[in-house]
Amino acid sequence: MNDIDPAASGQANAVDGIPADQRQWAMFAHLSALAGGLLTSTFGGWGFFLGPLVIWLMKKDTMPFVEDQAKEALNFNITVSALLLICIILGFATFMVGFLILVPVMVVIGIGALVSIVIAAIKANEGVAYRYPFTIRLVK
């Protein structure tokens, strides 16, 4: 008779103690990078980190899982943006000849980032604290 009704405690559909609303916000933190990139595409698409930054700032004090995943998404997207910026600088530094090699590299980075973001969003929605590979963790 010590059973606690999950619906009565506000933990309905909790996976490993992570409520559904936190899992959903964590998923949004990852996917918001894609939305930020699309919204800023006319300005070079450098808004990839804006969505995770906004969600992290909004939810960091109230939702620990969302804080963790938004920071992870923010760090990953800062890393990807830095890599793309380095490729562009190298392309111009080599008087555009470097772009013959760097454009395919940038496409691979973009596709890898897209796949990683989708995987992270799925894992976050499952309640798994996803860690992106090859990420410089600047925000701690």
Residue 45, number of CB atoms within 10 A of its CB: 15
68 close to 129: Cβ distance less than 8 angstroms: yes
| pLDDT recorded at residue 11 | 47
Rg (CA), the chain: 18
pLDDT at 1 over 70: no
Instruction: Band the pLDDT of 45: cuts 50, 70, 90.
Output: low
CA distance 129 to 103: 32
Strand partners, 15: 18
pLDDT in tens, 73-117: 999 999 998 998 899 999 999 999 999 999 999 999 999 999 999
CA distance 90 to 127: 39
- In this prediction, residues 110-137 reach a mean pLDDT of 94
65 close to 23: Cβ distance less than 8 angstroms: yes
Of 25-29, 82-86, 121-125, the one with minimum mean pLDDT is 82-86
Instruction: Band the pLDDT of 28: cuts 50, 70, 90.
Output: very high
